[in-house]
Amino acid sequence: LDQISRNAAQARQMQLTKPQGALGDLERLAVRLAGMQGRACPGADRVSIAVFAADHGVAAEGVSAYPQAVTGQMIVNFSRGGAAISVAAKALDAHLRVYNLGTVTALEPLAGVEDQVIAPQTGNLAREAAMTQAQLVQAMNVGRLAVEQAQAREAVIDIFIGGEMGIGNTTPATALAAALMGLPVTDLVGPGTGIDGAGIARKVAVIERALALHKPQPVDPLEMLRCLGGFEIAALCGAYLQCAQQGVPVLVDGFICTVAALLGCRLQPQLGDWLLFSHCSAEPGYARLLDHLPSFPLLDLGMRLGEGSGAAVAIPLLRMACTLHAQMSTFEEAAVSGASL
Amino acid sequence: LDQISRNAAQARQMQLTKPQGALGDLERLAVRLAGMQGRACPGADRVSIAVFAADHGVAAEGVSAYPQAVTGQMIVNFSRGGAAISVAAKALDAHLRVYNLGTVTALEPLAGVEDQVIAPQTGNLAREAAMTQAQLVQAMNVGRLAVEQAQAREAVIDIFIGGEMGIGNTTPATALAAALMGLPVTDLVGPGTGIDGAGIARKVAVIERALALHKPQPVDPLEMLRCLGGFEIAALCGAYLQCAQQGVPVLVDGFICTVAALLGCRLQPQLGDWLLFSHCSAEPGYARLLDHLPSFPLLDLGMRLGEGSGAAVAIPLLRMACTLHAQMSTFEEAAVSGASL
């Protein structure tokens, strides 16, 4: 982080024609981004979005409302521009690239989709490790690659967004959240894309079985990720760590991305300095994550879609924060009197 | 409201490629706007902002951190493009017009500022009525005029935003809030632009004196507005009522605008159907308004600037809600499987 730029931004905020602090979080956002980007007037125009998609062996346990075929179908939908993240990326003039880490239905080559298939799906975490060591490394490297590719395309990335798609993936994310925070599964589990009460009970039992089988240890977050994670969750974690290393600010999406970010922070605590959080997910486990995050989410709109969609929705707030910061007049420029009391 | 368009929008939301409800408030926004605008695919591109500015006799009681000259200075700042609302309006490609209802410092003609001076300031509500009956009518008519002028400029206004500027105006707004909700002043009063503890105690005493003097009656909100209000607060109320009459959706800004909207709802309960609320103001009284609003605010970013700035910051959310609603593929179009459980 660049403390000189951060301090310059802070000093500028105090001179703009408004009561101090009156723009609330927008002021803090501009100041934080200044420190990350090393510019007294930061920006959020150049946004790069990578969506990581993969299938999950644990779907066999009946933990999702949707069939596994939807993962592949949604990759096609991303490519054709019909999914929420595709529409949002276009509206934001952001670059969107999809990474296919492996789906149960084979896919033809698709525009905007990069084939990085590791396996058709992960192992069923209720019965075995989700990934081998080699698969874990491979998945995390796809995340790193996505950031490298984004940086190769554009000289500067103002904000990186990671998204995810994978039928069943709130189950590994909830298992990881329980292991990372040491909380009971019942405190965290939720409906995901929309399972009913019986489905939720089944999901609790599946995650408890997985935790009893793998006995995840807080001191070894990578092993936790290998046993309980998913290809796209590992890729997100790898992407976030690469962003921190490269000095690229990250806007973290909802529940699954936030679990990947929290895991990344356990591996590399300085990652937290590079993370902004877009929104409170409606997935119940998110509320329990809040105490463990290095900063607070911007929005609370009851969103629970994934794909990076919540982060995309928050981008205009970052842009507005930067525009106000850069373009408002100072008290001196505008000849406005300061506070008298 | 157009129930056919609203129902068509609701039906469309259920067909889009996402779990039902996964876009949270963005879905509800698109559906509500459809009902207001009478189109199954609503929009938020054409935004019209009117900022009403005026001075307050009660400033003589020492209730603000800033000198009264700042009201006029900020009108100049609006005109020159340096204020938060000017910068935001430009970023949003929204039309901004400022209405000067009367300031203690006389102003030269300014670009984008309409001279509608009623008096240099209101009466000091702690000692006398803020307005005469004629002044109240005149102020409300400036609000109506602003909506008429906006409609004359553009064939269709998707969203109307009212803003306010007036040193001391959290004092009349808090007095009105206390009278409207029947709550103790100490539950509502806050620092406004930034007074300290002694200033807040003074503000409480001033408002309590005003309430004891005028004895506002819930059955007569207009008389309440006349005795305790301000020119810009009355103009906002008039503008909102005109919007409801003309079928123009309103995005209500923070504490002062929300008090004006609540007052408008007492005069005409159907106004509530046309109101969207942009953000929770950091002014403490706002939290007590929440129970009385017809719908919930979108953002909670600790903003407390006024000018319509919070509403402007929320416009991109409305635009994103409309864009996702219009452009996402349906399950059928994308050949994505529906929920199986």
Q: Are B19 and B104 within one domain?
A: no
Of A114, A307, A332, A333, catalytic? A307
Q: Does A197 touch chain B (CB under 8 A)?
A: no
Residue A158 inside a domain? The answer is: yes
Domain that holds residue B9: 3-41+326-334
Query: CB-CB: which of B73, B82, B87 is closest to A337?
Result: B73
Residue B100 inside a domain? The answer is: yes
Residue A229 inside a domain? The answer is: yes
CA distances from B235 to A222, A223, B65 (A): 61, 63, 24
pLDDT digits (tens, 9 = 90+) for B274-306: 999 999 999 999 999 999 998 999 999 999 999
Q: Do the chains contact at B305 and A23, CB–CB below 8 Å?
A: yes
Q: Do the chains contact at A304 and B22, CB–CB below 8 Å?
A: yes
Q: Are B222 and B330 within one domain?
A: no
CA distances from B17 to A84, A135, A306, B320 (A): 8, 30, 12, 16
> Do residues B158 and B45 touch, judged by C-beta distance below 8 A?
yes
Residue B253 inside a domain? The answer is: yes
Residue B83 inside a domain? The answer is: yes
Residue B286 inside a domain? The answer is: yes
CA–chain centroid gap for A323, Å, is 24
Q: Which residue type, as a one-letter code, is found at position A276? A: L
For testing the chain A interface, which of B193, B203, B255, B305 should be mutated: the one with the most A CBs within 10 Å? B305
- The CATH number of the domain holding residue B20 is 1.10.1610.10
- The CATH number of the domain holding residue B125 is 3.40.50.10210
Question: For the range A21-24, what are the long-range contacts, defined as Cβ-Cβ under 8 Å and sequence gap of 24 or more?
Answer: A21/B194, A21/B302, A21/B304, A22/B193, A22/B303, A22/B304, A22/B305, A23/A321, A23/A324, A23/B84, A23/B303, A23/B305, A23/B309, A24/B282, A24/B301, A24/B302, A24/B303, A24/B304
> Do residues A241 and A264 touch, judged by C-beta distance below 8 A?
yes
- Burial class of residue A34, CB neighbours in 10 A (0-12, 13-18, 19+): buried
The closest alpha carbon to B120, from B163, B71, B77, belongs to B71
Q: Which residue of A lies nearest to B325 if distances are taken between CA atoms?
A: A84
Give the HSE-up count for residue B122: Cα atoms under 13 Å, Cβ half-sphere.
Answer: 38
Q: Does B83 touch chain A (CB under 8 A)?
A: yes
Q: Do the chains contact at B329 and A88, CB–CB below 8 Å?
A: no
Task: Tell me the count of A-B CB pairs closer than 8 A.
Answer: 203
Q: Does A320 touch chain B (CB under 8 A)?
A: yes
* pLDDT tens sequence for chain A (341 residues): 999 999 999 999 999 999 999 999 999 999 999 999 999 999 999 999 999 999 999 999 999 999 999 999 999 999 999 999 999 999 999 999 999 999 999 999 999 999 999 999 999 999 999 999 999 999 999 999 999 999 999 889 999 999 999 999 999 999 999 999 999 999 999 988 889 989 999 999 999 999 999 999 999 999 999 999 999 999 999 999 999 999 999 999 999 999 999 999 999 999 999 999 999 999 999 999 999 998 999 999 999 999 999 999 999 999 999 999 999 999 999 999 988 75
Interface pTM (ipTM) of the complex?
Answer: 0.97
Q: Does B14 touch chain A (CB under 8 A)?
A: no
DSSP helix/strand/coil, A24? coil
- A208 assigned to active site: no
Q: Does B20 touch chain A (CB under 8 A)?
A: yes
Q: Do the chains contact at B70 and A301, CB–CB below 8 Å?
A: no
Q: Does A200 touch chain B (CB under 8 A)?
A: no
Q: Are B99 and B137 within one domain?
A: yes
Residue B339 inside a domain? The answer is: no
Q: Are B16 and B106 within one domain?
A: no
Q: Do the chains contact at B20 and A301, CB–CB below 8 Å?
A: no
Q: Are B8 and B127 within one domain?
A: no
Q: How many domains does chain A have?
A: 1
> Do residues B224 and B262 touch, judged by C-beta distance below 8 A?
no
Q: Are B35 and B98 within one domain?
A: no
Give B323's contacts in chain A (Cβ within 8 Å): 87-88, 91
Tokens of A288: 């329990």
